[in-house]
Amino acid sequence: MKTANPTTVPTKTRHHQALDQLGEDICSGALQAGQVIPPEAQLGVQLGVSRIVVREVVKSLAAKGMLEARRRTGTVILDASNWNPFDPDIIAWRARSRVFDSALARDLLELRRIVEPAAARMAAARANDLERKAMRTAINSMRAALEIESEKSYVEADFDFHTTILSACHNQFVRQMQDAISAILRTSFEFAASIPGGQAHSFPLHEELCSAIEARSPKAAERAMLKIVARAEAELVEWFKLQGTPVPSPM
């Protein structure tokens, strides 16, 4: 684990920085399952935070299923099978680590294929005027980002478009899952942004989906979303090929 330099930023920021560092160390395998993390004082020095912040970080990771306090042993890192796979932080840490492998990518895309076409269908039937306007605004922002070749702006607008669709389902269970799904979407979009020409090819599909929702056509919206997810699968396969990583089947 890298040793962080102490800072004078607010405690909340130090907590989040320490949480991210320790979470990423676990997700990347720098800290292995079964390993006992250092005592509070030592960990505080490594993370550059106080013992109070260390306790908060450990509690947060324990709540995510990543750590467990054991008598006579200490705080142990748990196997990934115990982690909460829907936790937005864990999704982001795994995506930023070397263990964002093709199996994880396949699972994320399968979840998108299960959830998003149905969400598009419901949004076409249930979206209100403000939500449809927000979707069109996001599409216009995506177009503008393409014109100025801003990958970051495109990803943000793409993210806004898809999360608005989730909200427009007006389904309480989808909304409960929205943070996790949003983290999955952002991860997918950021990887797709590294594929040359990927955004330009996917934009017309988003335009088609937005038009279907504006036309209040659930079937057309579902078909359009299926095309978008299929495109995302192809882009991610291409990304893994560029990395020299094997892609599991089916995907």
pLDDT tens-digit readout, 25-41: 999 888 999 999 999 99
Number of domains in the chain: 2
CATH number where 30 lies: 1.10.10.10
pLDDT band for position 104 (cuts 50, 70, 90):
confident
Q: 240 with 247: CB under 8 angstroms?
A: yes
Task: Please tell me whether the peptide bond between 250 and the residue prior to it is cis, using omega within 30 degrees of 0.
Answer: yes
CATH number where 124 lies: 1.20.120.530
Specify the pTM.
0.75
Residue 96 lies in a domain: no
Report the b/e string of 194-233 with b at 16+ CB within 10 A. ebeebbeebbebbebbbbbbbeebbebbbbbbbbbbebbb
Residue 106 corresponds to which tokens in the numbers above?
């396949």
pLDDT of 245 reads 67
Q: Is residue 26 domain-shared with residue 74, that is, in the same domain?
A: yes
Q: Pick from 71, 21, 73, 27: which is nearest to 47 by CA?
A: 21
Q: Is residue 75 domain-shared with residue 135, that is, in the same domain?
A: no
> Computed over its alpha carbons, how large is the radius of gyration of the chain?
20
Q: Is residue 158 domain-shared with residue 219, that is, in the same domain?
A: yes
Owner of token pair 């840490």: 93
Which of the pair, 151 or 249, is modelled with greater confidence?
151
Residue 91 lies in a domain: no
* Mean pLDDT over the full length of the chain: 86
Q: Which residues contact 4 (CB under 8 A, 6 or more apart)?
A: 17, 18, 21, 46, 47, 48, 49
Could you list the residue range(s) of the whole structural domain that residue 59 is in? 11-82
Residue 126 lies in a domain: yes
